[in-house]
Amino acid sequence: MRPAACWPERSDTLGSTFALAAVLSRRQLLGQGAALLPLALLGGCARGAGPRLLACKGALPKAWLASLPSPWSLQDVERSQQIVAAARDADLLQLSDGWASSLPPAALQPLGAPALLARLAAAAGPVSRLYGPPQSQALAFPWAFSPWVLALRNRPDLLDRARRSWDVLLDPSLKGRLVLPSSPRISIELMGADADRLRRLRQAALAYDEADGLNLLLLGRASAAVLPQQRLIPLLRQDPRLQVVLPATGAPLSWQVMLRPARATAPVPLTWLARVLQPPLLPRLLAAGWVPPLPADELQQALRTLPGSLATLLLPPEAVLQRCWSQPPLPAAQRLAWQTLWDAAAP
């Protein structure tokens, strides 16, 4: 998997708005005060009750959470912004790599798990440093990754083209029937930052919303959607109308990471973290779409019980993986240039 010199936007907003700030601004925090203040107060009052893991609802596999050791407890929230705002009052954080990269380095402390990180594939190295220089310390445990893929509903006619390239998104039959990610960055990258192709893509969009994009697809309002693969895997055995494709040209990667806030004093539950990397939990996570960044031979061993087509989707050929890319922060000049490109491509 190759790194890309890009910015880590994981926007929750629709349309053409970019979240260009590296951290939440004072205005953003004030605007979300009603949601964030109770969380911050709860965190401050609960520090004596044992160490806490702060995560978004549904962001962690249930089977893994069930083995969270005592006296650790989970506090789940609705949005990643809440985790960022309350980070200093927790002992362990679960975030995507985009949100994790938005935290200032001073807000985190090194994870202190070299043996655990040494078990991961090389592609996880930059993510563990939150895209810092090679000599910097690991601040994150990248426990799962997911490529953005194309989900089609009853469109076998597009499958061959979809397997070759993301150019299939520009097929005229998808106009008004296509759901794109809420992050403009992903659309820009899929179109190679080409202004004409990006304009045609935006003209085809029904919505920019991966959160509800799957519902639009299942209800038949959309024929195609660009979504994180993990969300789709559990549905493939249940809904024969869906086809999921990772084009041979590769795709952006989304990572899930664990972080240790600067003020945390509780020891990191290393034994619990390690469970995602080995049986009996590993095969269960893979079946649910969670793919730890382990070496390919270890993943192949754990995938033996799954159907071949599903196993290939979860562990694509090495040549395809090499064409996938992570999304570290972009320089300000490039963020501004891509903001301009996105706005100019508006229908």
| pLDDT, tens digit, 9 for 90 and up, residues 242-271 | 999 999 999 999 999 999 999 999 999 999
Find the mean pLDDT for residues 330-335.
96
Instruction: Specify the pLDDT at position 41.
Output: 36
Q: Flag whether pLDDT at 21 surpasses 70.
A: no
- The confidence band for 48, taking pLDDT boundaries of 50, 70 and 90, is low
How does DSSP classify residue 108? B
Q: List residues bridging with 110 in a β-sheet.
A: none
Specify whether the CB–CB gap between 141 and 124 falls below 8 A.
no
Q: What's the pTM?
A: 0.87
Three-state DSSP state, 71: coil
Instruction: Specify the pLDDT at position 47.
Output: 46
Three-state DSSP state, 312: helix
Instruction: Specify the pLDDT at position 211.
Output: 83
- The confidence band for 65, taking pLDDT boundaries of 50, 70 and 90, is very high
Quick one: tokens of 253? 């990667």
Residue environment code for 116-151, b if the CB has 16+ CB neighbours within 10 A, otherwise e? bbebbbebbebbbbbbeeeeeebbbbbbbbbbbbbb
Q: Flag whether pLDDT at 36 surpasses 80.
A: no
- The confidence band for 277, taking pLDDT boundaries of 50, 70 and 90, is very high
Give the sign of the dihedral formed by CA 152, CA 153, CA 155, CA 160.
positive
Question: In the chain, at which residue ranges do the beta strands (DSSP E only) sit?
Answer: 52-56, 73-77, 92-96, 140-153, 178-180, 205-208, 224-228, 242-245, 253-259
Q: Flag whether pLDDT at 307 surpasses 70.
A: yes
For domain 26-145+254-304, the CATH superfamily is: Periplasmic binding protein-like II (3.40.190.10)
Q: Flag whether pLDDT at 117 surpasses 80.
A: yes
- The confidence band for 32, taking pLDDT boundaries of 50, 70 and 90, is very low
